[in-house]
Amino acid sequence: MQSNLESKILRAIEFIEEDYSPIFIVSHYDTDGLSAALILIKILYNKKIPFVFRTVSSLDEVENVKESAFNRIILIDFQISEEIITLSKYKRILMIDHHQILDYDIYGQMMLLNPYLFQIDGNKDACSSCIAYLLAKSIDESLVYLSPLALAGALEDKQDVAEKRFFLGLNKEIYDEAEEAGICSSNLGLVSYVDFNETLEKTFAYIFEPFIPTIFGNIEKSRKFLIDCGIPNELLSKELRKINEKEQFWICQKVAKKLIKESYEAYNIERLFGLNYEVTGFGKIKNLRSLAKILNYHGRYYKYDTIIRNLITEEIKEGFEESLINYSNEIKKFSEIILNRVKEFNNIAYIDLNDFSIARLTGDFSSLFASSNISKKPLIMISTTLNDNCKVSIRLKGNFNNVNIGELVKTVAKKINCKGGGHVNSAGAIIPKSLVKKFIDELDSSL
């Protein structure tokens, strides 16, 4: 299994190194896609291979790729499709991805690096940035310092699913390597998404999972919530780093009791306590989860130019701390709107945000509210406007083992002549506005 992957990586290296013709890199805009792209950009920069980089939500956004002057294309973090396979008849393509491979024969000038081809679970054990990192390390061992980018991709794709929110499979191998190199370390506690020197009340105000929309981004409401849980005042203003593991576990127990009463699911509550990851080499950013969220914001809002410049020159001076604040403010603003827009079907809680141009945040909101108590329905679905269509994002709530939502969404979307697909527990689709209700009905009845 591993030897087959190594063999395929060597072929991918040949694709990159065979000549110095320019490469068109197209990645999905989320953390995993952007992180993988950043890793590959560093390789190309070091080798002085010219490139053009673009992030998109789907390959429908890339116009005239077939007619472009680029003969070599790297596609990152997109599920394989008939359109991509057709494109490979005309262009040489290296594709790095970790989505399920459903019912496609791969032909043409296509080289696919996907963990599922090597019997590795792309839903839990490896993400796109993980595969990109393995490729980078095979070219240059010194690029181990890029390992936090791969781990950030894994975190944002919710692949910290081992005990205590640790990693599995190839992701774990990368973490172990980063820890051995002194780049990454971990400690158990209340899972934090902000600087470890922030107070408990501020840390809790920015918890992304489980998501508590009524307090998110509001330190005063966070403080009141913790007081209601029975947390003493002297701990509220104490820096998280200065609260020991035993106390943090006790705090999480207190919070868990309140969340159970508020109908939060056990799986999400359990994710309050786990491993926090500290990294070096990214300026003032020490929390790996902060880095993951910052990358997510920069990818979704086309703000990655500075990150690229910092990364390729290996002078990461800017902390990008304001990015996390801006991103959190966006989440806070729209969460208040979402709370009043939930429409329930038999198995689906649906939120219509089509009057807002926030297609790039659709996936984030579906993930966040899937870990909230907004509905007891097993599926959260959010739609936003994307040109003349709707971008639909779907998440299973909790930890389900008997539903493959990516496969189901692909089948239902195809039934109404649309495109859809994804992972075992998350999926997306592009649906004409006139067919959204039909899509919901079909999906609802299929569960």
Q: Are residues 98 and 16 part of one domain? A: yes
CA separation (Å) from 50 to 20, 36, 66? Answer: 7, 17, 19
Alpha-carbon distance 94 to 89, whole Å? 13
Name the region of 119 (left: φ>0; alpha: ψ -120 to 50; beta: rest): left
- Domain of 116, CATH number, reads 3.90.1640.30
Residue 289 has pLDDT above 90, yes or no: yes
Q: Is residue 253 part of a domain?
A: yes
pLDDT level of residue 357 (50, 70, 90 thresholds)? confident
pLDDT level of residue 193 (50, 70, 90 thresholds)? very high
Helical pair 305-312 and 31-46, crossing angle rounded to 10 deg: 40
Whole-model pTM: value is: 0.94
Q: Are residues 304 and 199 part of one domain? A: yes
Name the region of 422 (left: φ>0; alpha: ψ -120 to 50; beta: rest): left
Q: Is residue 65 part of a domain?
A: yes
Alpha-carbon distance 218 to 206, whole Å? 8
Name the region of 249 (left: φ>0; alpha: ψ -120 to 50; beta: rest): alpha
Q: Which of 290, 317, 333 is the last residue of a domain?
A: 333
Q: Are residues 372 and 303 part of one domain? A: no
Q: How many domains does the chain fold into?
A: 3
- Comparing 203 with 102, the larger pLDDT belongs to 203
Q: Is residue 163 part of a domain?
A: no
User: Which tokens hold the place of 224?
Assistant: 């009141």
Dihedral, 360, 365, 366, 370 alpha carbons, nearest 10:
160
Domain residues for the domain of 125 are: 2-143
**pLDDT score, position 382:** 93
Vertex 347 angle, CA 346 and 351, to 5°? 95
DSSP for 182-220, please give it.
TSEEEEEEE--SS-TTSBHHHHHHT-TTTT-TTTTT-HH
Q: Residue 192 in contact with residue 240, Cβ under 8 Å?
A: yes
Q: Is residue 256 part of a domain?
A: yes
Dihedral, 134, 139, 142, 146 alpha carbons, nearest 10:
-40
- Domain of 407, CATH number, reads 3.10.310.30
Q: Which of 86, 120, 143 is the last residue of a domain?
A: 143
Q: Are residues 395 and 293 part of one domain? A: no
Q: Are residues 402 and 271 part of one domain? A: no
Q: Are residues 109 and 17 part of one domain? A: yes
User: Which tokens hold the place of 216?
Assistant: 């998110």
Residue 287 DSSP SS3: strand
Alpha-carbon distance 47 to 300, whole Å? 28
Q: Residue 73 in contact with residue 26, Cβ under 8 Å?
A: yes
Tens-place pLDDT, residues 212-255: 999 999 999 999 999 999 999 999 999 999 999 999 999 999 99
- Comparing 108 with 312, the larger pLDDT belongs to 312
pLDDT level of residue 64 (50, 70, 90 thresholds)? low
